[in-house]
């Protein structure tokens, strides 16, 4: 099962991809997570990606395409994978098409999670993540039992440097200009579905499960 989760920053891609990955036993491939790990580790890729990520712009297509090409070649992707946050430009979508063709793979479902703009801003500015296990939280919609502490593993919750209002507005503009056109690339391909991301997290999850089967 090969899936693509699309949608603006804050729509709930990561939240849902994590749960779907667990349920179906396939890895969540988040280019955002991989790039943050590269920045933290100070690798060449991390050094090249840092400035764009901090301003809310996009990292260059060649970097993210290279990351995904390497990642889908790993053994744990044999059963399938969920692309979360990739492709984000039409050029990335075209590169993915040829990458899949070379490997005789296809995408089973492209799912676009939609969300109102003001909800996106409050979702992103209220977001925190467990530094240890990666579980996501929100200061209103998904509060941990104890402030700053992960319910699942007791790890410390952290907030992302780029989750501030100014950068978020820039990310939303970048989404409209560069990522929204990717929907057109997939809309006519057949396997495209839209899911209302304004629903409760559990309802979104159930809707996704009914699509995936
Ligand atoms: P994305 O990966 O699309 O950027 P996330 O999955 O990180 O989005 O979600 C952004 C924030 O919104 C997180 O704090 C998450 O807990 C919260 N969130 C996700 N889905 C919903 C939902 N359906 N309703 C309310 N809050 C949500
Ligand atoms: P969000 O959860 O808000 O959608 P991500 O964690 O997916 O954000 O991405 C964080 C940042 O990493 C983006 O603002 C961008 O700078 C960079 N990034 C992630 N994926 C891509 C991609 N496919 N192409 C270019 N840049 C990317
Ligand atoms: Zn945790």
pLDDT in tens, 133-180: 999 999 999 999 999 999 999 999 999 999 999 999 999 999 999 999
* pLDDT tens digit sequence for 3-55: 999 999 999 999 999 999 999 999 999 999 999 999 999 999 999 999 999 99
115 lines ligand 2 (CB under 6 A): no
For atom 14 of ligand 2, which residue has the closest CA? 56
Considering 48, 50, 160, 193, which one is annotated as catalytic?
A: 160
When pLDDT is averaged across residues 175-196 and rounded to a whole number, the result is: 93
Share of the chain above pLDDT 70, in %: 100
Is residue 179 within 8 Å of residue 77, measured between CB atoms? no
Ligand 1: which atom is nearest the Cα of residue 15? 6
To the nearest whole number, what is the mean pLDDT of the chain? 97
Q: Is-catalytic flag, 71?
A: no
123 lines ligand 1 (CB under 6 A): yes
Q: Is-catalytic flag, 13?
A: yes
pLDDT at residue number 188 = 81
Ligand 2: which atom is nearest the Cα of residue 68? 23
Q: Read off the tokens for 48.
A: 């090249």
When pLDDT is averaged across residues 51-64 and rounded to a whole number, the result is: 97
Q: How confident is the model at residue 189 (pLDDT cuts 50, 70, 90)?
A: confident
CA dihedral 23, 156, 4, 167 (to 10 degrees): 160
Among the residue ranges 58-72, 150-164, 181-195, the one predicted with the least confidence is 181-195
120 lines ligand 2 (CB under 6 A): no
Is residue 40 within 8 Å of residue 89, measured between CB atoms? no
Q: Is-catalytic flag, 142?
A: no
pTM: 0.97
One of 3.40.109.10, 3.40.50.620, 3.20.20.70, 3.40.50.300 is the CATH number of 2-116+176-212, namely 3.40.50.300
CA atoms of 157 and 35, how far apart (whole Å)? 19
Is residue 159 within 8 Å of residue 207, measured between CB atoms? no
Q: Where are the chain's structural domains?
A: 2-116+176-212
């Amino acid at each position: 099962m090969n899936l693509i989760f699309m949608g603006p920053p804050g729509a709930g891609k990561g939240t849902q991809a994590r749960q779907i990955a667990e349920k179906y036993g396939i890895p969540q491939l988040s280019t955002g997570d991989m790039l943050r790990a590269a920045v933290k580790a100070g690798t060449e890729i991390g050094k090249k990606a840092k400035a764009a990520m901090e301003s809310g712009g996009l990292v260059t297509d060649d970097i993210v395409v290279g990351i995904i090409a390497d990642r889908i070649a790993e053994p744990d992707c044999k059963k399938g994978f969920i692309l979360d946050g990739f492709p984000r430009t039409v050029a990335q979508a075209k590169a993915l098409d040829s990458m899949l063709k070379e490997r005789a793979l296809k995408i089973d479902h492209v799912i676009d999670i939609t969300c109102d703009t003001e909800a996106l801003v409050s979702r992103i500015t209220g977001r925190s993540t467990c530094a240890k296990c990666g579980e996501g939280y929100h200061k209103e919609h998904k509060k941990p039992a104890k402030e700053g502490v992960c319910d699942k593993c007791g790890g410390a919750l952290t907030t992302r440097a780029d989750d501030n209002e100014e950068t978020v507005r820039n990310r939303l503009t970048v989404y409209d200009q560069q990522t929204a056109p990717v929907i057109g690339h997939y809309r006519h391909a057949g396997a495209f579905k839209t899911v209302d991301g304004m629903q409760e997290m559990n309802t979104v999850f159930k809707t996704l499960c009914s699509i995936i089967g």
